Amino acid sequence: MRAKRARWLWLCALVSLFILCSCGTPGAPQPPSLNLAKPISDLQATRTGDQVTLTWTIPTQTTDGASFRHRGSTRVCRAIDQVSIDRCSAIATLPASANEKTASFNSEIPSQSNGPSDYATYAVEVLNDRRRSAGLSNQVKIPTTVVSHLSGSPKIQVTEAAVIATATVVPREPSLQQALELRRKEKDTDLETTVAQRPLDLPEGEAANLELRDENFVWEKKYDYRVVLVASAKVPGSTVVFDADASAPIEVLVHDVFPPAVPTGLQAVFSGQTPGQQPDIDLTWNPNMDRDLAGYFVYRRRQGEPATAANRLNPQPVTTPSYRDIDVQLGNTYVYSVSAVDERGNESKRSEETSEQVPK
Residue 188: per-residue pLDDT: 85
Residue 124's pLDDT band (boundaries 50, 70, 90)?
A: very high
Answer yes or no: is pLDDT of 23 > 90.
no
176 and 116 Cβ atoms separated by less than 8 Å: yes
Q: Are residues 112 and 172 in the same domain?
A: no
CA 93 to chain centre: 33
Residue 25: per-residue pLDDT: 44
Residue 20: per-residue pLDDT: 44
Look at residues 115, 143, 171 and tell me which one is the last residue of a structural domain.
143
Answer yes or no: is pLDDT of 237 > 70.
yes
Burial annotation 167-197 (CB, 10 A radius, 16+ → b, else e): bbbbbbbeebebbbbbbbbeeeeeeeeebbe
pTM above 0.75, yes or no: no
Is residue 202 a part of any domain in this protein?
Answer: yes
Q: Can you give the residue range of the structural domain that contains 249?
A: 149-253
Residue 32: per-residue pLDDT: 56
Residue 213: per-residue pLDDT: 98
Answer yes or no: is pLDDT of 100 > 90.
no
Q: Are residues 221 and 154 in the same domain?
A: yes
Look at residues 126, 143, 160 and tell me which one is the last residue of a structural domain.
143
Is residue 134 a part of any domain in this protein?
Answer: yes
Look at residues 143, 172, 194 and tell me which one is the last residue of a structural domain.
143
Q: How far apart are CA 93 and CA 103, in angstroms?
A: 13
- Of the candidates 355, 228, 348, the one whose C-alpha atom is nearest the C-alpha of residue 281 is 355
Q: Which of 29-43, 217-231, 253-267, 303-317 has the lowest mean pLDDT?
A: 29-43
Mean model confidence pLDDT for the chain: 90
**Can you tell me the mean pLDDT for 172-190?**
92
Residue 4: per-residue pLDDT: 54
Please state the domain count of the chain. Answer: 3
CATH of the domain at 160: 2.60.40.2060
226 and 251 Cβ atoms separated by less than 8 Å: no
- Of the candidates 344, 351, 321, 45, the one whose C-alpha atom is nearest the C-alpha of residue 221 is 344
Q: Are residues 296 and 341 in the same domain?
A: yes
Residue 17's pLDDT band (boundaries 50, 70, 90)?
A: very low
Q: Which residues pair with 67 in a beta bridge?
A: 61
Q: Are strands 333-342 and 293-302 parallel, antiparallel or unpaired?
A: antiparallel
Tens digit of pLDDT for each residue in 287-314?
999 888 999 999 999 999 999 999 999 9
Is residue 10 a part of any domain in this protein?
Answer: no
DSSP 209-256: EEEEEE----TT-EEEEEEEEEEEEEETTEEEEEEEEEPPPEEEE---
Q: How far apart are CA 243 and CA 191, in angstroms?
A: 17
Q: Are residues 209 and 272 in the same domain?
A: no
Is residue 294 a part of any domain in this protein?
Answer: yes
Residue 8's pLDDT band (boundaries 50, 70, 90)?
A: low
CATH of the domain at 91: 2.60.40.10
CB atoms near residue 121 (< 10 Å): 20
Tens digit of pLDDT for each residue in 270-281?
987 777 678 999
Q: For the sheet containing 322-325, what is the strand order?
A: 267-270, 281-284, 322-325
Answer yes or no: is pLDDT of 86 > 70.
yes
Q: Are residues 120 and 160 in the same domain?
A: no
What is the end-to-end Cα distance of the chain in Å, rounded?
A: 156
Tens digit of pLDDT for each residue in 182-222?
999 998 888 999 999 999 988 887 899 999 999 999 999 99
